[in-house]
Structure 1
Amino acid sequence: MRTRPLKVALLGCGVVGSEVARIMTTHADDLTARIGAPVELAGVAVRRPGKVREGIDPALITTDATALVERDDIDVVVEVIGGIEPARTLITTAFAHGASVVSANKALLAEDGATLYEAAERHGRDLYFEAAVAGAIPLIRPLRESLAGDTVNRVLGIVNGTTNFILDRMDTAGAGYSEALDEATALGYAEADPTADVEGFDAAAKAAILAGIAFHTRVRLDDVHREGITEVTSADLASAQRMGCTVKLLAICERAADGRSVTARVHPAMIPLSHPLASVREAYNAVFVEAAAAGQLMFYGPGAGGSPTASAVLGDLVAVCRNKLAGATGPGESAYTRLPVSPMGDVVTRYHISLDVADKPGVLAQVAAVFAEHGVSIDTVRQKGRPDGDGEASLVVVTHRARDAALSGTVEALRKLDTVRGVASIMRVEGE
């Protein structure tokens, strides 16, 4: 066994970084045995040096992250600061000075992963990022390595714990959106500013990463269609229950049937209670993978938090250190297919549409005619008059599968009908 330790630089010492440092210290002997050499925390870059960090030698703390990654004796840089800059520059600088990188930075990988991949390849270094998607759940490595000989056709997942908790509370406890968000915030699942979660930005970044790996093509954040959960209502959940469904914020990445393009999208959707993802409760994550040879696979577990995310980081650290000792590197970018990413309008899906209409004869015929004009077939219709007798009725239409552009065009045409007082809600139906 090699006696000279492998030296690790840690960028960021928040919830995840501090847990990485703790595990490196308390499990040092186990890590040494698994790697084949000791690992040593050689420096920790932070923004607030005066903060007390239990278990970390104050002599390791620095505010000069650039100087830390430029050190010639650093073998691996662990980046958990997040954001685009200075993370991008620090990572590429680390590669240039001989270090491999373990990152949890989903935003940077989704926005500009190509730059990181190219820098890693140019300098012959590793870039591992299991912790960037779904926390502790082993997902990136199975897609990159275990399924490398297979053809992945679809990735369907719940990849944001905050939104899953909110929707679960709305479904099981009858809470409204604001009430469920307040509870998520009180429990620490939601940030003070929950925008990244509830508007789907976090899930969209993860979808871009998953699609790129699954389909061997470059998919950026801008390629991902994104909708959040802020417009989901208790009425939507009630409608889903009547259909034998529940509502989840889904990240969906698909290969076209002809294999010539891919799509990536994030939006709330109704899924049948019989689907495995329907049973994913509270802040848990789960990802459903469909591959040509392997069939259907499901990955489930805690998708966020200090300890789960640190677990994924440490798993990558062990792999990268083993590669370092062997004088080898692990898998890099695989983007050989160069498939185009199709717009949302080309996606084939189903709609659940709730309309407020005039309660009089002939309305259903007018509505049905609009669907026919746009080539959209109706699966089920449910009409119910209002109990207050105000001359309005509720009309719920569930369609068969059609191009999203045709479905969207149908909704816009419905809005123009004199007998349609309003479109109460629109939600896609997936997972069948």
Structure 2
Amino acid sequence: MGTHTSIDERYEFSGRVKTWSLIAIVLGVVGVAYGFLIGGDSVQRTFSNLLLASYYFACVCTAAVFFLAYQYVAQAGWSAALLRVPQAMAKVLPIAAVIFIVVALAGLFTTHEVVNEEGHKEVMPYLYGHWAAHGLTDPSSEHYDPIIAGKSSFLNIPFFAGVIVVLLGLYSLFGYLLVKFSQNEDQLGGMFNYDKSFKYSAIFLVIFGFTFPVFAFDAIMSLEAHWFSTMFGWYNLAAAHVSGLAVITLLVIYLRKKGYMQWISENHLHDLGKLMFAFSIFWTYVWFGQFFLIWYANMPEETVYFYKRWEPEYKWWFWLNIVLNFVAPLLLLMSRDAKRLTARLQFTAWVLIIGHWLDYYLMIMPGTIHHEAGHEVHIWDQFGLQELLIFVGFAGILIFLTLNSLSKFTSLVPKKHPFLDESLHHHQ
């Protein structure tokens, strides 16, 4: 691939990246089929991994819309030359939303028989069984749970489905509009479409700020419905944002290596590195704030969440989570020069993508996967073919759909963005 310098250049989606992304998708399908076909506890594990991967996928694409919105509201000039990458990710969000909704509802409506803590058999959904199991809100039922009954006004299937459909639909709509305004701007020029982008971005940020915690409460926190944390939504927002920044950074670096977007300089990468560094610190702040307050209060109904993650099978991963998502970016990106090194930035982005997969793993698995008492838990009981192949499959979907969307743009830069010249001559 030769070097391209014209702002009229288009991305051609072909070659090895297209082939390997399709192979990754096939491997993901194989992983899902393997998990369902061998049956037993593997079905629960497969549902949990599908929830993890589809939630991660939706969050990364939503973070791209968030990135676009705050760039417009801040009237940022530096980012104008790389906006096509998050715009391509925003175009993928509706597909990511549909996949997540299908996984969540399939896990909610597909049931299996489990043995509860009292040794009695009980029919429960594979996902969200803590609040969706039969009889939990019925005072005449032997399974009646007063805590769940008290939350039943919002922990019910219609409300749950409505929240995830409406919110992901809204995020997808705003993503679509921001992309549309940018494309119209390329055709018409002037400030009309940029002003609309500014206005709709401001509206989106207000809606997003108030609703994303609700989405996280429904999608993930309700897996362990007795527990709650008012910081959980911001914790998820921080994780989604850092993951989205890492994916944007990797895609920009990939395109530059393939000869595209040669106007992107070490100064642009430096800014992406600063954002990854800063919001990794913010993620740590929220993580520690949630952990410290619950530890200090020492209330059983709250500490149970962390107690479960301090059991032997999860404790190692609990601390590795902090190493990958805080210690690694802190040490790798602290200096100014480090943020300007492509290889260092690329490595850190991969660490953060894997780290936040582990972060979501720790949010989801302890509340959905149950090991028998006395059973010695081995590494392959936690990480096996399902985890690896499903992660690879969703990575393939993200890469294929994003790069395919990127190839549909008439140019790799918003040519008539009012701050484009500032971005093309960005210096620090």
Same fold by TM (over 0.5)? no
Query: TM-score, normalising length from structure 2?
Result: 0.25
Which structure has the larger Rg over C-alpha atoms?
A: 1
Query: TM-score, normalising length from structure 1?
Result: 0.25
> Which structure is higher in strand share?
1
Choose between structure 1 and 2 for higher RCO, CA contacts under 8 A separated by at least 6 residues: 2
